[in-house]
Amino acid sequence: MIELLHKRLKHKSQSFDTTAKSGQGENSRTKLNSSKDPDLIYKNAFAIKKKNNSDRLKSQDRTSRNLSFNEIKFSDEIFDLKTQLNKQITEITQLKTQIQYLQTELEKKTQENSQTYDVGHLNRVLNTQKRFISDLKEELKKKDEKIDEIKKKSKFCQINEMETQITYLTEECKKLLNGINLLSENKTRDDLLKYQEDDIQKSILISQLKKEKERFLESIEEKNQEILKWRDRVVELETHEAKMLQQKKKREKNEVKALKKDIKDLKNELANNKKNCQSLENKYEEKIAKMQLQSLAEKHSPKNVVGEIVTSQSKNFKTLNPVPMIIHLITEKICKENITFDQFFHNLTLTYSNYPNLNDVWQALDLTENQHHFIDELSSFLNSKSIIPIVLFKDFCQKAKFTPQDVQKIYQNIVLRLQSSDFPRENIGKKLFPDKKAMKNMNNCIEILMKFPLDLDKNSAILLYNYLFQSGTSSLTSSQIVASFIIRLPDWVVLTEEEKKVYTSVLNKIIEDNVGKILQQCKDYDIEKTGFISEIEFLKCLEGVNARIDKKFELFIKNEAYKMAKEIGKVRFLEFLNHFNTISEETDPEKIVNYYLMQVALEIMNRNTQVCKVFKEKNGKVAGEGFIDGLAKIGMDGINESHLALILEFLQCKDSEDLCIDLNLLETKIAGIMKSPTKIKPGETKFVFDQTLEFNSRIKTSQELDENSLLISNP
């Protein structure tokens, strides 16, 4: 055991000798008492000798100047020195602790083995240990000297200065932090005070508003009481005023009746005067025509021809005596082309319009049924001795390209179109041709006839132009065109807005109360199931339900029928009855609901769908908004709000407090209305359901004229 201890001590002494040799030249002024306390060594390592104030200031000035330049340069060296210093300090402390441990162990072992070892051996061991301790002390002294040298260097002074600067900055930071805390406390205190003031002001304002509210409520109650007082007074005044108005209305009616009677008497008197005046004018014009005819015969006809004409006049056709003479005069104008008899006849009548005083000739030629007389007269004249270059008058009737009936149909369309659009006869010339002196050719005239208000198709416009004007006419003034066009237009009556409103309300009432009967009669007349009947048949249907129809009322019905059918003399009765079968505000609520339920059924049937698919149901129910959306899907979003409220109230689920529609109830109601026609009162639209498919199967028949057949004597 003792030998083992000696070996360890010898090994430690060798290690201490090597460290001592490596540390030669270091300062040996370290005291022995430093080995007793390891912390003392660390403190001495960082201890700084005190200097004079002047030296310190100088060093501070010097270091402050060099600090900014050398700070980056010496940072790495300072770090290395610090690491080396810490390593040496740790080694010294370890050595000291080991020495103390060994000394204690040595003492213990000496005490234990004092008896076994002799004194000489112990002395040798003790001397070696002392020598080893002295070596360690010398080594420790060298370490202390090295530490002092490090402390004396300028780099270590810079570290101290930086430490002092760091301490100063930390103190400044603490002061600033304290200032920030103080400011935050003041701000929170100010915010709290401000919030308390705002809260007080708001509470005061709320109290004032409550007082105003109470005052307003009191004033409202007072006003309501005044309204109730005045309401009774207003009702009394309204009843009194209504009585006064009824009396005034009766007086005015009596006055109007008296005035109408006077007007009727005056009209009769005026008509009689017009007839007398017309007869006198006719007699006067006949005399003037005969005188002008004799003068024309003397100027332009040879004596032999005139003699033949006079003899033929006395023998056969007294009314058509002037015809050969007129033909002789206008041969070069109307016979430049190979034209048909109807064309020649029409051009001849147009030529006679330049001689307005020849009334006997004009009246004779204007009658289409007397055309065969004109043919006989013309043939007899051609067989006479007079040489007239008129040829190719064979097969006149077979080659005719238009008839007066076609032109009459065009004029009827024009009149109905102008009448339905409330266009008066006086304004037609200004509307078509604002400039009376402007010159128009054929294309210009046709374009004008195709525009508003006439709106003719191209074929009809060409036919009308060729009918009105002679072939070869290059251009005409607007006044000439208007004169030729308007003189052949029949007269028409334009109804006023008040008359239209009255007739509309009357027709609504008639159709609403008797729609079933009227529809059945119309269906009886419509044998071919075309959806059309004539105007006369439709008027008979209205008269069949005891409807009184005067001339203006008949005119109103024809205009409305023409607007819908766009054909002369025909009525699209289903559309007509649908248009005038309306629901008023005074109608029975059940009747209104049945009316709209019928419309729902028709729309669902036309779309080939079901009730549950149109309305989004949940367990046979649908919300109010979903029901309204479903109505919009089938095109029934334009229902009156009051009528919609009636429908929702009628279909409301009884076991639900919210707005909810029972679809089962809706289906049963629709089925009941559709199956039992007796439940539908007069004026409802059950006829729409009966004739729904007829709307889709209507055939609009129109006979279009061939454009080539209308190009008559085109220049």
Helix ranges, 301-340 (H): 303-315, 323-334
Helix (H) or strand (E) holding 660: strand 660-662
Grouped pLDDT means (10 residues each) for the chain, 715 residues? 52 50 42 42 42 54 54 72 88 90 85 65 82 90 84 70 87 91 90 90 91 91 88 83 83 84 86 81 68 55 36 33 44 46 56 46 41 49 40 36 64 80 75 72 81 79 73 68 73 80 86 82 86 88 86 86 82 81 64 76 73 74 82 78 80 78 80 48 34 31 29 26
Q: Please state whether beta strands 570-572 and 476-477 pair in parallel, antiparallel, or not at all (unpaired).
A: unpaired
Confirm if 515 and 682 have CB atoms less than 8 A apart: yes
The DSSP letter of residue 330 is H
- Residues listed for the chain: 715
The model's pLDDT over 157-173, given as tens digits with 9 standing for 90+, comes to 777 788 888 889 999 99
Task: Answer positive or negative: Cα dihedral of 508, 514, 516, 520.
Answer: negative
Give the Cβ contact number of residue 260 at 10 Å: 10
Report d(CA 317, CA 337) in Å as an integer.
Answer: 28
Q: Fold for 508-580, please state it.
A: Recoverin; domain 1 (1.10.238)
Q: What is the CA radius of gyration of the chain?
A: 65
Q: Which of 400, 388, 477 is nearest to 433 (CA)?
A: 477
Report d(CA 406, CA 477) in Å as an integer.
Answer: 26
Report d(CA 72, CA 79) in Å as an integer.
Answer: 12
* Amino acid at the residue 117: Y
Res 473: pLDDT: 63
* Amino acid at the residue 688: V
Confirm if 28 and 141 have CB atoms less than 8 A apart: yes
- If phi > 0 it is left, if psi is from -120 to 50 it is alpha, else beta; for residue 531 that is left
Q: Which of 427, 518, 413 is nearest to 455 (CA)?
A: 413
What the block records as the tokens of 51 is 């200097």
Torsions phi, psi of 533, nearest 5?
A: -140, 165
| Ordered DSSP codes for 514-573 | HHHHHHHHHHHH-TT--SEEEHHHHHHHHHTTT----HHHHHHHHHHHHHHH-STTEEEH
Distances (CA, A) of 412 to 103, 233, 418, 565, 586: 149, 60, 10, 14, 40
Helices 303-315 and 154-300, packing angle to 10 deg: 90
Report d(CA 525, CA 531) in Å as an integer.
Answer: 10
The model's pLDDT over 8-45, given as tens digits with 9 standing for 90+, comes to 555 555 554 554 444 444 444 443 344 444 444 444 44
Residue 680 burial by Cβ neighbours in a 10 Å radius (0-12, 13-18, 19+): buried
What the block records as the tokens of 115 is 């008896």
Res 73: pLDDT: 59
Q: Which of 408, 407, 475, 420 is nearest to 445 (CA)?
A: 475
Res 634: pLDDT: 82
Confirm if 423 and 453 have CB atoms less than 8 A apart: yes
User: Largest Cα–Cα distance in the chain?
Assistant: 206
The DSSP letter of residue 697 is T
Helix (H) or strand (E) holding 476: strand 476-477
Res 200: pLDDT: 92
What the block records as the tokens of 6 is 């000696």
Q: How far apart are the first and last CA of the chain?
A: 157
Res 489: pLDDT: 74
Confirm if 454 and 414 have CB atoms less than 8 A apart: yes
Q: Which of 163, 129, 154 is nearest to 59 (CA)?
A: 154
111: Cα within 13 Å, side-chain hemisphere: 5
Q: Which of 417, 486, 491 is nearest to 452 (CA)?
A: 417
What the block records as the tokens of 197 is 């003031």
Residue 9 burial by Cβ neighbours in a 10 Å radius (0-12, 13-18, 19+): middle
Report d(CA 501, CA 507) in Å as an integer.
Answer: 10
The model's pLDDT over 567-609, given as tens digits with 9 standing for 90+, comes to 878 888 877 887 787 665 556 777 777 777 877 876 777 677 7
The C-alpha angle with vertex 387 and arms to 385 and 388, in degrees rounded to 5, equals: 130
Torsions phi, psi of 435, nearest 5?
A: -100, 110
Res 336: pLDDT: 46
Residues of the chain by 3-state class (helix, strand, coil), percent to 5: 75, 5, 25
Cβ within 8 Å of residue 691, ≥6 positions away:
519, 523, 531, 574
* Amino acid at the residue 542: L
What the block records as the tokens of 290 is 């005969």
The model's pLDDT over 374-398, given as tens digits with 9 standing for 90+, comes to 445 554 544 443 333 344 343 333 3
Cα-Cα-Cα-Cα torsion 520, 525, 531, 533, nearest 10 degrees, comes to -120
